Amino acid sequence: MLARSSSILLTTLLSACTGSPQPSGLEQRAARSQSVETPAPATGSTPATPTSAARAEPAKSDAKSDAKSDAKSDPAADPVAAAAAPGQLTARPPEGTELVPVRLALTDASAYQITTIGMVAFTGVRPSGFAREERIELDECEGADATRRCRLTHRYVNYEAEPPNGRIFEADEKLVDKLVTSHTILATGAREGATTIAGDATQAASPAGQALADVHRFLCLRFPDEPIGVGAKWKDVCHLRTGGVVDTREVIWELTSMSKDPEGHARAEFTYLGRYTAPSPTGDRSGTVQGVLYYLLDAGEPHLLKEQISTRSDPTSNFFTTTTISYQFARFKKGKKGKGKKGRTTAAKGRGLPPGLLGPNATGGMDIPGLPGMANMPGIPNPRR
């Protein structure tokens, strides 16, 4: 269960240095933000706290540099990527690179608890943090290796948000928090077939509930159909419910590194970068999404996913919404008394984790540093400018 004390949650949020976006309420906050002129930070000023560092400020760039950054983060700007189907390679690794098949293990009757820690920063508005717990279960599995597939069932468990925007965030969450959704997931991570929506009848019949029919419940993880090596890139188009709305992500994934821990177990790091679109009452919000996935190759399981989303209310605006999010995966097992027990997605302590990624209190997945270089990646405004 998440801590009910706001002070405890806030400490957790700041130590995690993470976050996520907001929509329904986002539109309201974005409109308010644009009515307030935010003075530029003094030259040479240093952020005093993680909260001040997370504040989104207007990016200082001209139209040419903006266009260049957008092109780097937009798959449609690359003819090869634009023509590629989801899961299809857009770039192959160098000749002679070791190739390995990457698949989700999809163990029948298994369950994961995903703990999300997020921070949403609006220009001119103090950033707000939130925490969420949700659970996914796998069953009705069939096939093996590349042909493996299972039914994935998702449900929300708990949610809490901090001021000043916490009430808006929580209101958005309560639009769907009693719903249970299911769809088929393939070993590549691809979602297949229709999604069933069950639970509270009022929520299920609402526009927010019906929109869940398009959501990928395993956080849009996607691997190509063929074996890959470091340097391989592939395309995906996927939908998540982020900040109260169902967004669209058109991204290019890349296998950036593979290594082995001292026990010889393989692990990999994947990154993705691309175009982000989310609906709003005043028109689509567009921007960029980028992230990194730490993955356990031997186990066929994700361990940690970190991403950042940056959007503008319109293409000419200097007011941004910047969201950073950290998703921690843990196996979930029911104890003898029916209560749940969480454990890492690694079979052995620390197995498969990049050195220094998690601190000594990593069991809850809260002691997580920010993604190195995130603020300087193409297409993302630097909040410290």
- The pLDDT tens digits of the residues spanning 226-283 come to 999 999 999 999 999 999 999 999 999 999 999 998 888 999 999 999 999 999 888 8
- Give 50's pLDDT tier (boundaries 50, 70, 90): very low
Within a domain: 226: yes
Range with the poorest average pLDDT among 10-14, 106-110, 227-231, 344-348: 10-14
Q: Among the ranges 52-61, 120-129, 311-320, 370-379, which has the highest mean pLDDT value?
A: 120-129
Of the pLDDT bands very low, low, confident and very high (cuts 50, 70, 90), residue 315 is confident
Residue 353 lies in a domain: yes
Give domain status of residue 350, yes or no: yes
* pLDDT score of 132 more than 50: yes
Residue 284 belongs to a domain: yes
User: Does the pLDDT at position 61 exceed 60?
Assistant: no
- Report helix, strand or coil for 194: strand
Angle of helix 24-34 relative to helix 166-173, nearest 10 degrees, comes to: 150
In this prediction, residue 72 has a pLDDT band, given cuts at 50, 70 and 90, of: low
- Tell me: pLDDT of 360 over 50: no
Q: Are 36 and 124 in contact (CB under 8 A)?
A: yes
Report pTM. Answer: 0.73
**Residues with Cβ < 8 Å from 238, sequence gap 6 or more?**
86, 191, 216, 220, 222, 248, 249, 251
Average pLDDT over residues 72-92: 88
| pLDDT surpasses 50 at 363 | no
Q: Find how far residue 228's CA is from the centre of its chain.
A: 23
The full length of the chain comes to 385
- Of 99, 341, 114, 361, which is closest to residue 231 (Cα–Cα)? 99
| Section 96-110 average pLDDT | 96
Give the pLDDT of residue 337.
56
Q: What is the mean pLDDT of residues 199-225?
A: 97
Dihedral of alpha carbons 10, 16, 17, 21, sign = negative
Burial classification of residue 256, based on how many CB atoms lie within 10 Å of its CB (0-12 exposed, 13-18 middle, 19 or more buried): middle
For residue 123, is it within any domain? Answer: yes
Q: How high is the pLDDT of residue 209?
A: 97
Is residue 213 assigned to a domain?
no
Give me the domain span that covers residue 283.
Answer: 6-35+63-133+220-376
Query: For residue 292, is it within any domain?
Result: yes
Instruction: Say how far apart CA 121 and CA 114 lie, in whole Å.
Output: 23
Q: What's the one-letter identity of residue 152? A: L
Beta bridge partners of 332: 342
What's the total number of domains in the chain? 1
Does 38 or 270 have the greater pLDDT score?
A: 270
273 has which bridge partners? 252, 290
**Burial class of residue 279 (count of CB atoms within 10 Å of its CB; 0-12, 13-18, 19+):** middle
